[in-house]
């Protein structure tokens, strides 16, 4: 039996399908039951994530893929977000150890790094998260390190860059697409400054393939791996290529970094979902993770570059959302 928490997420859904297609017995844990759960997969609805729920979830499980998290305090408030991301992660770890789980694979986040000055950045970079989500993930990672030091389960941690693809619920990706595809009169894409920063993405298929390689590997115990696409153009080149290839009828607008920050503060009281802290990070920061370790240890190679990811997401958005 394999437990997948966060089975409704992009990566979780891919993992459940891969595992069931390969003949594994799969148990899913999430807040809501998906409409297209594969035949034969068991589902536990996480209405009350208490010790009993975690005990039942881990029963007879040989491995756990833990992807369940809350990225924003808009969903249940900050207290609920912190509980899910950190405290309940520790409870699940304890239940897994008590149940004799052999392997535990955890999805952390690039946000544990905070501001990255030197790119590409490997797993030894300083951990100074600037978001609540990043701080939660870092706290959860510390729980895992305690388990690694205890010499118990085979624990592997992944730090993926933002996962984007068809079906995405990433607000940065969705709002950018909404504006670029001409919804109402918002047909524009913003670029900060001269657009020379790089921001790495990750396709859910590539994330799932790394997770599966870790599951099947016997030599990655206690390891932490970055995940991200290989081809990460500077944002202005990326935007122009996507605009031409996808035939987007939109305007590319340049914002000065200082004006982008001003708008972020000015719009905050109006509860507008654009130019939030997450968008500022995307517009103003550099994010390119060095994925050399996972390539050397697990033989992983991403199939999708940034432009591929965005173009595929645009096709889905046009067909399913517009």
- 139: domain CATH number is 3.40.50.720
The one-character DSSP state at 158 is E
Count structural domains, the chain. Answer: 1
To the nearest 10°, report the CA torsion of 143, 105, 214, 12. -150
User: How confident is the model over 247-306, as pLDDT tens digits?
Assistant: 888 888 887 777 777 766 766 665 666 666 667 777 778 899 999 999 999 999 999 999
Q: Shortest CA distance to 163 belongs to which of 3, 322, 6, 4?
A: 6
What is the number of residues in the chain? 322
Residue 272 belongs to a domain: no
Least confident of 193-197, 204-208, 225-229: 193-197
| Rounded CA separation 2/27 (Å) | 6
| Rounded CA separation 244/240 (Å) | 6
Packing angle of the helix pair 88-99, 132-149 (nearest 10 deg):
30
Residue 54 belongs to a domain: yes
pLDDT of residue 151: 63
| Mean pLDDT of the chain, nearest integer | 86
Residue 40 belongs to a domain: yes
pLDDT of residue 321: 66
pLDDT of residue 218: 78
Range of the domain at 150: 2-163+201-229
Residue 270 belongs to a domain: no
User: How confident is the model over 61-80, as pLDDT tens digits?
Assistant: 999 999 999 988 777 788 88
pLDDT of residue 268: 66
Residue 242 belongs to a domain: no
191 with 239: CB under 8 angstroms?
yes
What average pLDDT score do residues 229-240 get? 92
Residue 147 belongs to a domain: yes
Residue 156 belongs to a domain: yes
| Rounded CA separation 49/55 (Å) | 10
Percent of the chain with pLDDT over 70: 90
User: How confident is the model over 129-154, as pLDDT tens digits?
Assistant: 988 999 999 999 998 887 776 666 78
The three-point CA angle 216-220-226 to 5° equals 100
pLDDT of residue 69: 93
């Amino acid at each position: 039996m394999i437990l997948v928490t966060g089975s409704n997420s992009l990566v979780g859904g891919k993992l459940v399908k891969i595992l069931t297609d390969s003949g594994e017995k799969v148990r899913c844990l999430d807040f809501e039951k998906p409409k297209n759960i594969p035949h034969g997969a068991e589902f536990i609805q996480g209405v009350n994530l208490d010790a009993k729920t975690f005990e039942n979830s881990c029963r007879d499980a040989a491995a756990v893929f833990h992807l369940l998290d809350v990225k924003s305090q808009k969903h249940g408030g900050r207290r609920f977000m912190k509980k899910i991301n950190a405290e309940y992660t520790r409870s699940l770890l304890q239940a897994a150890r008590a149940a004799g789980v052999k392997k535990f694979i955890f999805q952390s986040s690039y946000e544990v790094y905070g501001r990255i000055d030197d790119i590409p950045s490997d797993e030894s970079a300083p951990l100074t998260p600037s978001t609540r989500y990043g701080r939660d993930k870092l706290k959860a990672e510390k729980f895992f390190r305690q388990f690694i030091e205890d010499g118990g389960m085979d624990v592997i941690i992944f730090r993926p860059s933002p996962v984007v693809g068809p079906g995405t619920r990433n607000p940065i990706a969705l709002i950018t697409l909404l504006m670029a595809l001409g919804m109402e009169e918002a047909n524009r894409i913003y670029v900060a400054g001269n657009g020379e920063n790089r921001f790495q993405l990750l396709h859910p298929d590539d994330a799932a393939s790394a997770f599966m390689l870790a599951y099947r590997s016997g030599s990655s115990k206690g390891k932490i791996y970055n995940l991200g696409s290989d081809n990460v153009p500077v944002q202005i080149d990326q935007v122009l290529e996507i605009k031409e290839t996808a035939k987007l009828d939109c305007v590319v607008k340049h914002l000065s970094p200082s004006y982008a920050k001003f708008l972020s503060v000015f719009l905050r009281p109006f509860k507008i979902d654009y130019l939030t802290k997450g968008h500022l990070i995307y517009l103003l920061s550099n994010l390119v993770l060095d994925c050399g370790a996972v390539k050397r240890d697990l033989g992983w190679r991403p199939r999708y570059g940034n432009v591929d990811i965005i173009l595929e997401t645009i096709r889905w958005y046009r067909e399913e959302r517009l």
